[in-house]
Structure 1
Amino acid sequence: MRSLLVIELHTTSEKAAGGEARPNPMTHKETPVYILKSNGYQMRRAEDAEQAEKHLSDVDAVILHMPLDAVKVWGPRITKLRGLPILWWCSAEAAALSAEYCESDIPIDGLLGPSMGEWELHWALHLAEKQRMERQQWKLERKQLEARLEERKWIDMAKGILCKIKNISEAEAYEVLRKQAMNERKRMVDVAANIVKVHQLLQDMK
Protein backbone atom coordinates (compact mmCIF):
# COMPACT_ATOMS: atom_id res chain seq x y z
CA MET A 1 0.00 0.00 0.00
CA ARG A 2 1.98 2.97 -1.29
CA SER A 3 -0.42 5.34 -3.06
CA LEU A 4 -2.69 7.43 -0.83
CA LEU A 5 -5.34 10.10 -1.31
CA VAL A 6 -5.71 12.81 1.33
CA ILE A 7 -9.04 14.63 1.35
CA GLU A 8 -8.76 17.84 3.34
CA LEU A 9 -11.64 20.08 4.36
CA HIS A 10 -10.87 23.37 6.07
CA THR A 11 -13.30 25.43 8.13
CA THR A 12 -13.44 29.19 8.52
CA SER A 13 -14.79 28.92 12.05
CA GLU A 14 -12.75 30.82 14.65
CA LYS A 15 -13.76 28.51 17.48
CA ALA A 16 -13.41 24.80 17.95
CA ALA A 17 -16.24 22.65 19.31
CA GLY A 18 -17.10 23.66 22.84
CA GLY A 19 -16.05 27.27 22.26
CA GLU A 20 -12.34 26.64 22.71
CA ALA A 21 -9.83 28.49 20.58
CA ARG A 22 -8.67 26.61 17.52
CA PRO A 23 -5.06 25.42 17.40
CA ASN A 24 -2.64 27.42 15.29
CA PRO A 25 -2.82 26.56 11.57
CA MET A 26 -0.49 23.80 10.45
CA THR A 27 2.74 24.59 8.72
CA HIS A 28 3.47 22.89 5.40
CA LYS A 29 5.68 20.31 7.11
CA GLU A 30 2.83 19.39 9.49
CA THR A 31 0.32 18.55 6.75
CA PRO A 32 -0.59 14.89 6.13
CA VAL A 33 0.51 15.12 2.50
CA TYR A 34 4.00 16.29 3.47
CA ILE A 35 4.40 13.78 6.32
CA LEU A 36 3.20 10.80 4.32
CA LYS A 37 5.22 11.79 1.26
CA SER A 38 8.31 12.13 3.47
CA ASN A 39 7.76 8.52 4.56
CA GLY A 40 7.80 7.21 1.00
CA TYR A 41 4.11 7.26 0.01
CA GLN A 42 2.87 8.50 -3.35
CA MET A 43 0.36 11.21 -2.56
CA ARG A 44 -2.79 12.62 -4.13
CA ARG A 45 -4.76 15.47 -2.60
CA ALA A 46 -8.35 16.65 -2.96
CA GLU A 47 -10.49 19.37 -1.42
CA ASP A 48 -13.87 18.46 -2.93
CA ALA A 49 -15.83 15.51 -4.29
CA GLU A 50 -14.94 16.17 -7.93
CA GLN A 51 -11.21 16.14 -7.22
CA ALA A 52 -11.53 13.06 -4.99
CA GLU A 53 -13.40 11.02 -7.61
CA LYS A 54 -10.65 11.67 -10.16
CA HIS A 55 -8.03 10.07 -7.89
CA LEU A 56 -9.94 7.14 -6.33
CA SER A 57 -9.04 4.66 -9.07
CA ASP A 58 -5.31 5.35 -8.62
CA VAL A 59 -4.86 4.96 -4.84
CA ASP A 60 -4.73 2.19 -2.24
CA ALA A 61 -6.34 4.06 0.68
CA VAL A 62 -8.05 7.33 1.56
CA ILE A 63 -7.05 9.63 4.41
CA LEU A 64 -9.73 12.03 5.64
CA HIS A 65 -8.36 15.19 7.24
CA MET A 66 -11.49 16.87 8.57
CA PRO A 67 -13.76 16.99 11.64
CA LEU A 68 -15.54 13.74 12.46
CA ASP A 69 -18.98 15.07 11.54
CA ALA A 70 -17.65 15.53 7.99
CA VAL A 71 -16.01 12.08 8.09
CA LYS A 72 -19.45 10.57 8.63
CA VAL A 73 -20.59 12.12 5.34
CA TRP A 74 -17.45 11.35 3.33
CA GLY A 75 -16.97 7.75 4.48
CA PRO A 76 -20.12 6.28 2.87
CA ARG A 77 -19.61 8.46 -0.22
CA ILE A 78 -16.15 6.96 -0.81
CA THR A 79 -17.27 3.41 -0.03
CA LYS A 80 -20.07 3.71 -2.59
CA LEU A 81 -17.58 4.67 -5.30
CA ARG A 82 -14.83 2.18 -4.40
CA GLY A 83 -14.02 -0.21 -1.57
CA LEU A 84 -10.90 1.32 -0.06
CA PRO A 85 -9.52 1.53 3.48
CA ILE A 86 -10.59 4.85 5.02
CA LEU A 87 -8.51 6.43 7.78
CA TRP A 88 -8.93 9.61 9.81
CA TRP A 89 -5.98 11.97 10.11
CA CYS A 90 -6.19 13.13 13.71
CA SER A 91 -4.36 16.46 13.69
CA ALA A 92 -4.72 18.90 16.60
CA GLU A 93 -7.10 20.99 14.49
CA ALA A 94 -9.29 18.06 13.40
CA ALA A 95 -9.42 16.71 16.96
CA ALA A 96 -10.38 20.11 18.43
CA LEU A 97 -13.15 20.55 15.87
CA SER A 98 -14.46 17.07 16.78
CA ALA A 99 -14.50 17.53 20.56
CA GLU A 100 -18.31 17.45 20.81
CA TYR A 101 -18.81 14.66 18.27
CA CYS A 102 -20.53 11.90 20.21
CA GLU A 103 -21.69 9.32 17.65
CA SER A 104 -19.98 5.93 17.87
CA ASP A 105 -20.64 4.70 14.32
CA ILE A 106 -17.74 6.35 12.48
CA PRO A 107 -17.13 4.95 8.97
CA ILE A 108 -13.35 4.58 9.23
CA ASP A 109 -10.95 1.65 9.31
CA GLY A 110 -8.10 3.28 11.19
CA LEU A 111 -6.41 6.35 12.58
CA LEU A 112 -3.27 8.23 11.58
CA GLY A 113 -1.57 11.18 13.24
CA PRO A 114 1.30 13.62 12.67
CA SER A 115 3.46 12.08 15.42
CA MET A 116 3.59 8.63 13.80
CA GLY A 117 6.86 7.34 12.40
CA GLU A 118 7.50 5.20 9.33
CA TRP A 119 6.64 1.83 10.87
CA GLU A 120 3.68 3.15 12.82
CA LEU A 121 2.21 4.50 9.59
CA HIS A 122 2.97 1.21 7.81
CA TRP A 123 1.21 -0.92 10.41
CA ALA A 124 -1.72 1.47 10.80
CA LEU A 125 -2.36 1.26 7.06
CA HIS A 126 -1.85 -2.52 7.03
CA LEU A 127 -4.35 -3.02 9.86
CA ALA A 128 -6.79 -0.62 8.20
CA GLU A 129 -6.85 -2.83 5.11
CA LYS A 130 -7.57 -5.84 7.31
CA GLN A 131 -10.34 -3.90 9.07
CA ARG A 132 -11.84 -2.90 5.71
CA MET A 133 -11.99 -6.53 4.58
CA GLU A 134 -13.64 -7.55 7.84
CA ARG A 135 -16.14 -4.68 7.51
CA GLN A 136 -17.01 -5.76 3.97
CA GLN A 137 -17.44 -9.37 5.10
CA TRP A 138 -19.69 -8.25 7.94
CA LYS A 139 -21.83 -6.20 5.54
CA LEU A 140 -22.09 -9.16 3.16
CA GLU A 141 -23.13 -11.51 5.97
CA ARG A 142 -25.66 -8.96 7.21
CA LYS A 143 -27.11 -8.58 3.71
CA GLN A 144 -27.38 -12.36 3.34
CA LEU A 145 -29.06 -12.67 6.75
CA GLU A 146 -31.56 -9.93 5.89
CA ALA A 147 -32.32 -11.71 2.59
CA ARG A 148 -32.93 -15.01 4.41
CA LEU A 149 -35.20 -13.30 6.91
CA GLU A 150 -37.14 -11.68 4.08
CA GLU A 151 -37.51 -15.06 2.36
CA ARG A 152 -38.65 -16.66 5.62
CA LYS A 153 -41.28 -13.93 6.02
CA TRP A 154 -42.84 -14.66 2.61
CA ILE A 155 -42.75 -18.42 3.16
CA ASP A 156 -44.35 -18.15 6.61
CA MET A 157 -47.08 -15.87 5.25
CA ALA A 158 -47.77 -18.28 2.38
CA LYS A 159 -47.88 -21.25 4.74
CA GLY A 160 -50.42 -19.43 6.89
CA ILE A 161 -52.63 -18.76 3.87
CA LEU A 162 -52.41 -22.38 2.69
CA CYS A 163 -53.16 -23.70 6.18
CA LYS A 164 -56.28 -21.55 6.34
CA ILE A 165 -57.54 -22.20 2.80
CA LYS A 166 -56.72 -25.91 2.57
CA ASN A 167 -57.17 -26.70 6.26
CA ILE A 168 -53.75 -28.38 6.45
CA SER A 169 -50.83 -28.32 8.88
CA GLU A 170 -47.77 -26.07 8.53
CA ALA A 171 -45.65 -29.07 7.55
CA GLU A 172 -48.12 -29.95 4.83
CA ALA A 173 -48.26 -26.35 3.65
CA TYR A 174 -44.48 -26.28 3.42
CA GLU A 175 -44.54 -29.45 1.33
CA VAL A 176 -47.11 -27.88 -1.01
CA LEU A 177 -44.82 -24.89 -1.49
CA ARG A 178 -41.79 -27.10 -2.07
CA LYS A 179 -43.52 -29.24 -4.69
CA GLN A 180 -45.00 -26.21 -6.44
CA ALA A 181 -41.55 -24.60 -6.63
CA MET A 182 -40.10 -27.78 -8.14
CA ASN A 183 -42.91 -28.06 -10.68
CA GLU A 184 -42.55 -24.43 -11.76
CA ARG A 185 -38.74 -24.52 -11.50
CA LYS A 186 -38.80 -21.49 -9.28
CA ARG A 187 -37.42 -20.62 -5.88
CA MET A 188 -39.74 -21.43 -3.02
CA VAL A 189 -39.71 -17.80 -1.90
CA ASP A 190 -40.94 -16.68 -5.35
CA VAL A 191 -43.83 -19.15 -5.23
CA ALA A 192 -44.65 -18.03 -1.68
CA ALA A 193 -44.58 -14.34 -2.65
CA ASN A 194 -46.95 -15.00 -5.57
CA ILE A 195 -49.40 -16.81 -3.28
CA VAL A 196 -49.34 -13.96 -0.75
CA LYS A 197 -49.77 -11.25 -3.41
CA VAL A 198 -52.66 -13.03 -5.13
CA HIS A 199 -54.35 -13.65 -1.80
CA GLN A 200 -53.97 -9.99 -0.81
CA LEU A 201 -55.35 -8.91 -4.20
CA LEU A 202 -58.40 -11.15 -3.76
CA GLN A 203 -58.94 -9.80 -0.25
CA ASP A 204 -58.82 -6.22 -1.53
CA MET A 205 -61.41 -7.02 -4.19
CA LYS A 206 -63.97 -8.15 -1.63
Structure 2
Amino acid sequence: MLNVLLIESDLDNTLLENSIKDIGYQCLKIKYGPAVLALIKDITPDALIFNLDTPSKKLLADLKALNDQSPLPVIMFVNDTTTDIINQVIKADISAFIVDGLQGNRINTIINVAIARFKHQQALKYALEEACVKLEDRKQIDRAKAILIKTQNFTEHEAYHTLRKLAMDRNITLGEMAKNVVAMSELFK
Protein backbone atom coordinates (compact mmCIF):
# COMPACT_ATOMS: atom_id res chain seq x y z
CA MET A 1 0.00 0.00 0.00
CA LEU A 2 1.31 3.41 -0.97
CA ASN A 3 1.87 5.91 1.85
CA VAL A 4 0.92 9.36 0.60
CA LEU A 5 1.60 12.60 2.45
CA LEU A 6 -0.99 15.17 1.42
CA ILE A 7 -0.03 18.78 2.05
CA GLU A 8 -2.81 21.29 1.54
CA SER A 9 -3.24 25.00 2.10
CA ASP A 10 -6.94 24.46 2.98
CA LEU A 11 -7.57 21.59 5.40
CA ASP A 12 -11.35 21.98 4.98
CA ASN A 13 -11.09 20.72 1.39
CA THR A 14 -11.54 16.93 1.52
CA LEU A 15 -11.91 16.10 -2.21
CA LEU A 16 -8.29 15.11 -2.73
CA GLU A 17 -7.98 13.28 0.59
CA ASN A 18 -11.16 11.26 -0.05
CA SER A 19 -10.07 10.45 -3.61
CA ILE A 20 -6.70 9.16 -2.39
CA LYS A 21 -8.32 7.00 0.28
CA ASP A 22 -10.94 5.71 -2.22
CA ILE A 23 -8.11 4.47 -4.45
CA GLY A 24 -6.82 2.44 -1.51
CA TYR A 25 -3.75 4.44 -0.57
CA GLN A 26 -2.89 5.37 2.99
CA CYS A 27 -3.12 9.15 3.32
CA LEU A 28 -1.79 11.49 6.00
CA LYS A 29 -2.99 15.06 5.55
CA ILE A 30 -1.18 18.09 6.96
CA LYS A 31 -1.48 21.83 6.54
CA TYR A 32 1.15 23.57 4.45
CA GLY A 33 3.54 25.60 6.57
CA PRO A 34 7.20 26.34 7.21
CA ALA A 35 7.84 23.02 9.05
CA VAL A 36 6.63 20.86 6.14
CA LEU A 37 10.08 19.74 4.97
CA ALA A 38 11.10 18.58 8.44
CA LEU A 39 7.87 16.58 8.65
CA ILE A 40 8.51 15.03 5.23
CA LYS A 41 11.93 13.83 6.40
CA ASP A 42 10.45 12.41 9.62
CA ILE A 43 7.43 10.71 8.02
CA THR A 44 9.27 9.32 4.95
CA PRO A 45 6.23 8.85 2.69
CA ASP A 46 6.22 6.97 -0.62
CA ALA A 47 4.84 10.03 -2.44
CA LEU A 48 4.08 13.69 -1.75
CA ILE A 49 0.98 15.46 -2.99
CA PHE A 50 0.66 19.21 -2.66
CA ASN A 51 -2.63 21.07 -3.12
CA LEU A 52 -1.79 24.78 -3.06
CA ASP A 53 -2.92 28.04 -4.57
CA THR A 54 0.56 28.82 -5.90
CA PRO A 55 3.84 27.17 -4.84
CA SER A 56 6.41 29.55 -3.40
CA LYS A 57 9.90 29.80 -4.83
CA LYS A 58 11.24 28.73 -1.43
CA LEU A 59 9.11 25.58 -1.43
CA LEU A 60 10.33 24.65 -4.90
CA ALA A 61 13.96 25.27 -3.91
CA ASP A 62 13.44 23.16 -0.77
CA LEU A 63 11.86 20.37 -2.83
CA LYS A 64 14.84 20.46 -5.19
CA ALA A 65 17.19 20.08 -2.22
CA LEU A 66 15.04 17.28 -0.80
CA ASN A 67 15.00 15.54 -4.17
CA ASP A 68 18.80 15.70 -4.32
CA GLN A 69 19.09 14.05 -0.88
CA SER A 70 16.22 11.55 -0.84
CA PRO A 71 14.16 11.61 -4.02
CA LEU A 72 10.45 10.80 -4.06
CA PRO A 73 7.56 11.32 -6.42
CA VAL A 74 6.03 14.77 -5.96
CA ILE A 75 2.62 15.66 -7.35
CA MET A 76 1.49 19.25 -7.20
CA PHE A 77 -2.00 20.63 -7.76
CA VAL A 78 -2.10 24.42 -8.02
CA ASN A 79 -4.72 26.99 -8.86
CA ASP A 80 -2.45 29.58 -10.40
CA THR A 81 1.08 29.74 -11.79
CA THR A 82 3.54 31.79 -13.79
CA THR A 83 6.17 30.89 -16.36
CA ASP A 84 8.87 31.46 -13.75
CA ILE A 85 7.19 28.99 -11.36
CA ILE A 86 6.83 26.41 -14.15
CA ASN A 87 10.57 26.67 -14.88
CA GLN A 88 11.35 26.16 -11.20
CA VAL A 89 8.96 23.18 -11.05
CA ILE A 90 10.91 21.56 -13.87
CA LYS A 91 14.24 22.21 -12.10
CA ALA A 92 12.81 20.77 -8.85
CA ASP A 93 11.96 17.49 -10.64
CA ILE A 94 8.28 17.61 -9.72
CA SER A 95 6.77 14.40 -11.12
CA ALA A 96 3.35 15.88 -11.96
CA PHE A 97 2.26 19.51 -12.00
CA ILE A 98 -1.46 20.06 -12.54
CA VAL A 99 -2.82 23.58 -12.86
CA ASP A 100 -6.49 24.11 -12.04
CA GLY A 101 -7.37 20.47 -12.71
CA LEU A 102 -8.29 18.79 -9.44
CA GLN A 103 -10.93 16.20 -10.30
CA GLY A 104 -11.48 13.14 -8.12
CA ASN A 105 -11.86 10.70 -11.00
CA ARG A 106 -8.40 11.58 -12.38
CA ILE A 107 -6.40 11.25 -9.15
CA ASN A 108 -5.47 7.57 -9.56
CA THR A 109 -4.20 8.08 -13.11
CA ILE A 110 -2.26 11.20 -12.14
CA ILE A 111 -0.58 9.40 -9.22
CA ASN A 112 0.29 6.35 -11.34
CA VAL A 113 1.73 8.47 -14.16
CA ALA A 114 3.70 10.59 -11.67
CA ILE A 115 5.20 7.52 -9.99
CA ALA A 116 6.07 5.96 -13.35
CA ARG A 117 7.67 9.23 -14.50
CA PHE A 118 9.59 9.47 -11.22
CA LYS A 119 10.94 5.92 -11.58
CA HIS A 120 11.93 6.63 -15.18
CA GLN A 121 13.74 9.84 -14.15
CA GLN A 122 15.57 8.00 -11.36
CA ALA A 123 16.67 5.29 -13.80
CA LEU A 124 17.96 7.96 -16.20
CA LYS A 125 19.86 9.72 -13.39
CA TYR A 126 21.41 6.43 -12.29
CA ALA A 127 22.41 5.55 -15.85
CA LEU A 128 23.96 9.00 -16.34
CA GLU A 129 25.91 8.75 -13.09
CA GLU A 130 27.10 5.28 -14.06
CA ALA A 131 28.19 6.48 -17.51
CA CYS A 132 30.07 9.40 -15.97
CA VAL A 133 31.90 7.06 -13.58
CA LYS A 134 32.81 4.72 -16.45
CA LEU A 135 34.05 7.65 -18.55
CA GLU A 136 36.15 8.95 -15.67
CA ASP A 137 37.55 5.45 -15.09
CA ARG A 138 38.37 5.18 -18.80
CA LYS A 139 40.25 8.50 -18.65
CA GLN A 140 42.19 7.36 -15.58
CA ILE A 141 43.05 4.03 -17.22
CA ASP A 142 44.35 5.84 -20.32
CA ARG A 143 46.44 8.19 -18.13
CA ALA A 144 47.83 5.26 -16.11
CA LYS A 145 48.70 3.36 -19.29
CA ALA A 146 50.48 6.45 -20.63
CA ILE A 147 52.48 6.70 -17.40
CA LEU A 148 53.49 3.03 -17.57
CA ILE A 149 54.41 3.34 -21.25
CA LYS A 150 56.56 6.38 -20.54
CA THR A 151 58.21 5.23 -17.30
CA GLN A 152 58.48 1.46 -17.87
CA ASN A 153 58.80 1.38 -21.66
CA PHE A 154 55.74 -0.88 -21.89
CA THR A 155 53.64 -1.28 -25.00
CA GLU A 156 50.01 -0.23 -24.64
CA HIS A 157 49.01 -3.88 -24.42
CA GLU A 158 51.58 -4.58 -21.67
CA ALA A 159 50.52 -1.48 -19.73
CA TYR A 160 46.87 -2.50 -19.82
CA HIS A 161 47.57 -6.07 -18.72
CA THR A 162 49.89 -4.85 -15.94
CA LEU A 163 47.12 -2.54 -14.65
CA ARG A 164 44.59 -5.35 -14.86
CA LYS A 165 46.84 -7.80 -13.01
CA LEU A 166 47.61 -5.25 -10.28
CA ALA A 167 43.89 -4.55 -9.86
CA MET A 168 43.06 -8.27 -9.64
CA ASP A 169 45.89 -8.92 -7.16
CA ARG A 170 44.59 -6.13 -4.91
CA ASN A 171 40.91 -7.02 -5.46
CA ILE A 172 40.02 -3.52 -6.68
CA THR A 173 38.55 -2.24 -9.91
CA LEU A 174 40.70 -1.35 -12.87
CA GLY A 175 39.59 2.28 -12.49
CA GLU A 176 40.72 2.37 -8.85
CA MET A 177 44.08 0.84 -9.77
CA ALA A 178 44.51 3.42 -12.52
CA LYS A 179 43.76 6.23 -10.04
CA ASN A 180 46.40 4.79 -7.69
CA VAL A 181 49.02 4.70 -10.47
CA VAL A 182 48.21 8.29 -11.48
CA ALA A 183 48.34 9.44 -7.84
CA MET A 184 51.68 7.72 -7.29
CA SER A 185 53.18 9.25 -10.42
CA GLU A 186 52.08 12.72 -9.29
CA LEU A 187 53.71 12.07 -5.92
CA PHE A 188 57.07 11.47 -7.58
CA LYS A 189 56.99 14.57 -9.78
TM-score tier, shorter chain, comes to 0.7 to 0.9
Alignment deviations for residues 50-98 of structure 1 (CA, whole Å, 9 cap, x no partner): 3333245264422343437445413223325543211222212xx1xx2
Q: 1:183 to 1:55 in 2, by over 3 A?
A: closer
Aligned amino acid, residue 67 of structure 2: T
AA of the residue aligned to 1:119: N
1:122 is matched with which residue?
108
Q: Report the secondary structure of 1:62's partner residue.
A: strand
User: Are residues 40 and 137 of structure 1, via their aligned partners in 2, closer, same or farther at CA, if it must alter by over 3 Å?
Assistant: closer
Sequence identity of aligned pairs in percent?
A: 21
Q: Note the C-alpha offset of 1:162.
A: 0.6
**Greater relative CO (CA pairs within 8 A, separation 6+):** 1
Whole-angstrom CA distance in 2 between matches of 1:135 and 1:78 = 15
Taking a change above 3 Å as real, the CA distance of residues 7 and 177 of structure 1, as seen in their structure-2 partners, is: farther
Structure 1 range deviating more: 193-202 or 110-119: 110-119
Equivalent position of 1:39 in the other structure: 19
Show structure 2 runs of 5+ residues with no match: 22-26
Whichever residue aligns with residue 16 of structure 2, its letter is L
Task: Give secondary structure in 2 for the equivalent of 1:88.
Answer: strand
1:6-48 deviation per Cα after TM superposition (whole angstroms, max 9, x unaligned): 165xxxxxxxxxxxxxxxxxxx59x8x5431243543223312
SS of structure 2 residue aligned to 1:6: strand
**Which range moves more in the overlay, 122-131 or 62-71?**
62-71
Which residue type is aligned with residue 7 of structure 2? V
Mapped to 2, the partners of 1:101 and 1:111 lie a distance apart of 11
Q: Normalising to structure 1: TM-score of the pair?
A: 0.71
1:32-111 equivalence runs, <5 A: 33-41=13-21, 42=27, 43-48=29-34, 50-55=35-40, 57=43, 59-64=45-50, 65=52, 66-67=54-55, 69-70=57-58, 72-80=60-68, 82-92=70-80, 95=81, 98-101=82-85, 103=87, 105-111=91-97
SS at match of 1:168: coil
TM-score (normalizing by structure 2): 0.77
Q: Does 1:190 align with 2:154?
A: no
Q: CA RMSD in A?
A: 2.8
Deviations 1:145-179 (A, max 9, x none): 11111211211110010111122222221011112
Q: Is the 8 A contact 2:141 2:174 kept in 1?
A: yes
For residues 172-183 of structure 1, the aligned pairs below 5 Å read 172-183=158-169
The answer to whether the Cα contact below 8 Å between 1:5 and 1:46 also exists between their aligned partners in 2 is: no
- How far apart are the structure 2 equivalents of 1:165 and 1:81? 43
**Greater C-alpha Rg:** 1
Amino acid at match of 1:5: L
How many residues are treated as equivalent by the alignment? 177
Counterparts of 2:75 and 2:124, CA distance in 1 = 18
The question of whether the paired residues in 1 share the 8 Å contact of 2:77 and 2:101 is answered with no
